[in-house]
Amino acid sequence: MLGGGQLGRMFIQEALNYDVHVHCLDPDADAPCRYLATSFQHGSLKDYDTVVQFGSNKDVVTVEIEHVNVEALHELENRGIKVFPQPGVLAIVQDKGLQKEFYLKNNLPTAEFMLVNGKEELISKNIPFPYVLKWRKGGYDGKGVQIMKSAADFDQLIDTPYVIEQMVPFTKELSVIVARNEAGESVVYPTVECEFSPVANLVEFLFSPAEISEEVEKKAREIALKVIDSLQMVGILAVELFLTADDEILINEIAPRPHNSGHHTIECCYTSQFEQHLRSIVNAPLGSTKLITPGVMINLLGEPGYEGIAKYENLEQVISREGVSVHLYGKQTTKPFRKMGHVTIYGPDLNELKTTGRIVAKELKIKA
Amino acid sequence: MLGGGQLGRMFIQEALNYDVHVHCLDPDADAPCRYLATSFQHGSLKDYDTVVQFGSNKDVVTVEIEHVNVEALHELENRGIKVFPQPGVLAIVQDKGLQKEFYLKNNLPTAEFMLVNGKEELISKNIPFPYVLKWRKGGYDGKGVQIMKSAADFDQLIDTPYVIEQMVPFTKELSVIVARNEAGESVVYPTVECEFSPVANLVEFLFSPAEISEEVEKKAREIALKVIDSLQMVGILAVELFLTADDEILINEIAPRPHNSGHHTIECCYTSQFEQHLRSIVNAPLGSTKLITPGVMINLLGEPGYEGIAKYENLEQVISREGVSVHLYGKQTTKPFRKMGHVTIYGPDLNELKTTGRIVAKELKIKA
């Protein structure tokens, strides 16, 4: 596994049930998988030689982050090693411009867009404000995405290739997780609905089932399945969607790995996204994606204003509630908005779960 | 944790969610926790110096097996280290004679018994056959327990202190798991019903909820809670019970650690027995023991006649069913009746689960 962060950690927790040995490469010597992986190598995911050397004696190479050296993965594939998601898929996902072109080419719905090579070209286009500006490469967790409101916003822009998108007046933000194995079998999870924190520009709150019509649910699932089939991808894929006021669905972006919007599947579905990813990349039969129980997921982010050894406030209070499952990621130090863990709240009544979720989000603070 | 077997492994899988660092000591250099523990020490659990050295720099010392050096644990306790379950509890559990005397003293129901110091004393007593003979010390997983049917059975007996018990004509074998933290808070899980394999003398099949009357359920839970309160024990405790034809409940034996009869709690309860054990030994609030869904648990034992590198027959077929969760323990080699893993089958209809359980038990074979 390229990357040894929280996604790798939860993946290993489940891979253990199949006695699959997971080896991790991560640039952080203290990454969450440090003690947990069968072996842990400290090194760059972007360095060609490091990635080739790491992968060359493995059966299957996978990722928990998109920002890895794709050329190295091509080389590993040439050497006969299974690489899932495939390097070609990662190349598309790493570049939001290629992503948009892929949607266009495959007749997949997405907001209208334009590509520019840099800041100067962008300014010269005189595009009417407001619009959304995204780095073509290197964005992550909201980093590299901003809304351009006036010419004053040009000042702080770095000079990099951009995707320019129309503002989508969406009513809901949805996510659909799909998986596909080498045999071409694919499965789709029930749609999840996201609530974003405008401050942190991160998912703050997620719940499933989404509160949408059956028709929208069906359409969202179809789109997600069409994405993974068009990519011919093997592995798990999160498809982030916008739902507009007139029930149109537009693809925002995709992530070819276990995803924040699928964490609730650990408790709420017969097969978690992590186990599903494992099943798909070893070409095992895919598991049931059915929801056993509704769930709400809250990210635990480092409290703004605190940096240092993490302290969890009111953790005991939170875990004394029924159906509240805490997942800490094993990161020793916190900083503002750092993803330190998540909490899943699950049980029969979604409205109750949401209420508990809001209480838990207020109670559980990560300070230093 | 003293012991690094499958119980430790599943404990660590859940302790990770609280970022608790688990260090293991185990006499097997290839034990299931080998790669998973924060640190893994290869050494004897019965050697005083080894256990004292291992535990002396830890915050809390716990066990996943009863057969450890109790004197060393007393020494650690004297040094101010938290040891849960307490050494005194382990001393009682290690000796089935002391266990029986404990039940008697605390007015806890158990089959009538007698103690003898060795083989000669046993023979001299001329006890009418049949009866049950148990080693006072060192028995495990059915080892050290036998039914004496005639004088011919004396031949193969070793010379060791024994507990002699009346045969209990039980109709069901039940297990109740309880937990208690340092604050004295205790919780009890719904009763589970066991089916034993007469060939392997091991639990073959387990399900919860048990098919018993409300009254019996209530009585079973009360007895289990009384056991842990009488012991003033901290940690998780499995209380194995016999149910007789006239709905009398007798304690068979107890295990002060996560137990085979609680594996279904991973999928079927809000709080698994492993997380509950963790909560209890760090004096956190205990979690809900409610069943989310009925479940059936099957042990995966090494097929008789095969020894060597384990091969799992029909694993793909088994995991293609909804609500079938496989847990392999990471043991490289199989041998007859070795516990290699377990499968939990869960869903709304217990009768359906039992049917699936019987099919899965026939399909999934571990050979070499």
Q: At what angle do helices A87-94 and A70-78 cross, to 10 degrees?
A: 170
B9 interfaces chain A, CB cutoff of 8 Å: yes
pLDDT of residue A201: 64
Helices (H) and strands (E) in chain B, counts: 11, 21
B96 labelled as ligand-binding?
yes
For residue B348, is the peptide bond before it cis, meaning its omega torsion is within 30 degrees of 0?
no
Interface of A with B in 223-242 (CB under 8 A): none
With 70 as the cut, is the pLDDT of residue B202 above it? Answer: no
Residues making up the binding site of A for ATP: 96, 134, 165-168, 173, 252-253
Which residue of A lies nearest to B292 if distances are taken between CA atoms? A347
Minimal C-alpha gap between A270 and chain B (Å)? 6
Q: What angle do CA B94, B97, B103 make, to 5 degrees?
A: 100
With 90 as the cut, is the pLDDT of residue B320 above it? Answer: yes
Q: What's the pLDDT tens digit per position in B271-292?
A: 999 999 999 999 999 999 999 9
A104 interfaces chain B, CB cutoff of 8 Å: no
Interface test with B, best of A12, A319, A332 (most B CBs within 10 A): A319
With 80 as the cut, is the pLDDT of residue B22 above it? Answer: yes
- Nearest Cα to Cα of residue A333 among A315, A298, A306, A313: A306
Distance CA B154, CA B158 (A): 9
Helix/strand/coil for A149: coil
End-to-end CA distance of chain A: 31
Q: What's the pLDDT tens digit per position in B153-169?
A: 999 899 999 999 988 88
**Chain B residues lying within 8 Å of A183, measured CB to CB:** none
Q: What angle do CA A272, A276, A281 make, to 5 degrees?
A: 155
B253 labelled as ligand-binding?
yes
Which residue of A lies nearest to B347 if distances are taken between CA atoms? A292
Domains and CATH numbers, chain A: 6-83 (3.40.50.20), 112-165 (3.30.1490.20), 170-367 (3.30.470.20)
With 70 as the cut, is the pLDDT of residue B203 above it? Answer: no
Q: CB distance B328–A270 less than 8 Å?
A: no
Pairing mode of beta strands A23-26, A39-42: parallel
Which residue of A lies nearest to B289 if distances are taken between CA atoms? A322
With 80 as the cut, is the pLDDT of residue A204 above it? Answer: no
Minimal C-alpha gap between A20 and chain B (Å)? 8
Interface test with A, best of B9, B14, B21, B35 (most A CBs within 10 A): B35
Per-residue tokens: A333 = 């130090």
Q: What's the pLDDT tens digit per position in A312-339?
A: 999 999 999 999 999 999 999 999 999 9
With 80 as the cut, is the pLDDT of residue A83 above it? Answer: yes
With 90 as the cut, is the pLDDT of residue A345 above it? Answer: yes
**Chain B residues lying within 8 Å of A19, measured CB to CB:** 328-330
| Among B16, B285, B326, beta carbon nearest to A36 | B16
- Tokens 């009384």: give the residue: B226
Per-residue tokens: A355 = 């209420």
User: Is the ipTM above a cut-off of 0.90?
Assistant: yes
A287 interfaces chain B, CB cutoff of 8 Å: yes
| Among B37, B293, B329, beta carbon nearest to A292 | B293
